[in-house]
C-alpha cells in the first residue's frame, strides 16, 4: 500500500495540482492586498471618503460607530462593504485566470485534423466505412 501511495504522489498531475494550490493561495493574497490597499481606497475617495470595509447594516436596529464595534457588541450585521471587496477580488482573479488560459491555449499546438472514418454512399447517401467497396444498405458497387 505504501508503494502505491508513493506512485500516486509522484505522478506528475498530483505534483502539478499541489504546486497550483500553493501558487493559487499566494496569488489570492496578492489580489486581496491589491483590492484592499490599492483599488478600494481611491474608489472610496471618489465616492466621498467611503471605507468599504466599514459599510454594514446592523440587524438589531442599533447604530454602531464601526463594524469592529458592532462585532464586539455581538450584534448581527449585514456586511455589504466586505462583500463588495470580495466580489472585486473574485472578478480580478477570474480575469487573471481567463488571461492565463487564453495565453496557454494560444501557445498550444493545434491538433491535426482527424481523418474521417466514414463516407457517404453516392447512391443512397448513408454513412459507410471509408474502406467499403459495396454499400451495405443499397448494395451499390462503390
Do both 97 and 64 map to the same domain? yes
What is the share, in percent, of the chain residues with pLDDT greater than 70?
Answer: 98
Residue located via cell numbers 505522478: 11
Do both 78 and 96 map to the same domain? yes
Residue 91 C-alpha cell reads as 472578478
Do both 105 and 119 map to the same domain? no
The H-or-E segment that residue 81 falls in is helix 80-107
Do both 57 and 121 map to the same domain? no
Domain count, the chain: 2
Taking residue 140's Cβ as centre, other Cβ atoms within 10 Å add up to: 12
Mean local confidence (pLDDT), 2-24:
78
Q: How many residues does the chain have?
A: 142
Q: State yes or no: pLDDT of 49 exceeds 80.
A: no
> What confidence score (pLDDT) does residue 109 get?
77
The range of the structural domain enclosing residue 130 comes to: 115-142
Contact 97, 88 (CB under 8 A): no
| pLDDT tens per residue, range 57-114 | 888 888 888 888 998 999 999 998 889 888 888 888 888 888 888 888 888 777 788 8
Question: What does the longest C-alpha to C-alpha distance in the chain come to?
Answer: 90
Q: State yes or no: pLDDT of 12 exceeds 70.
A: no
Amino acid at each position: 500500500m505504501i508503494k502505491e501511495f508513493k506512485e500516486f504522489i509522484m505522478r506528475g498531475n498530483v505534483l502539478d495540482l499541489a504546486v497550483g494550490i500553493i501558487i493559487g493561495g499566494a496569488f489570492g493574497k496578492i489580489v486581496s492586498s491589491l483590492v484592499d490597499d490599492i483599488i478600494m481606497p481611491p474608489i472610496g475617495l471618489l465616492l466621498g471618503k467611503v471605507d468599504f470595509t466599514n459599510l454594514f447594516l446592523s440587524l438589531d436596529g442599533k447604530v454602531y460607530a464601526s463594524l469592529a464595534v458592532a462585532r464586539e457588541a455581538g450584534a448581527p450585521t449585514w456586511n455589504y462593504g466586505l462583500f463588495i471587496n470580495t466580489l472585486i477580488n473574485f472578478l480580478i482573479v477570474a480575469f487573471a485566470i481567463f488571461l492565463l488560459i487564453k495565453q496557454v491555449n494560444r501557445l498550444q499546438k493545434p491538433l491535426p485534423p482527424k481523418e474521417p472514418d466514414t463516407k457517404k454512399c453516392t447512391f443512397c447517401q448513408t454513412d459507410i466505412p471509408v474502406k467499403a467497396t459495396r454499400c451495405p444498405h443499397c448494395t451499390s458497387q462503390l
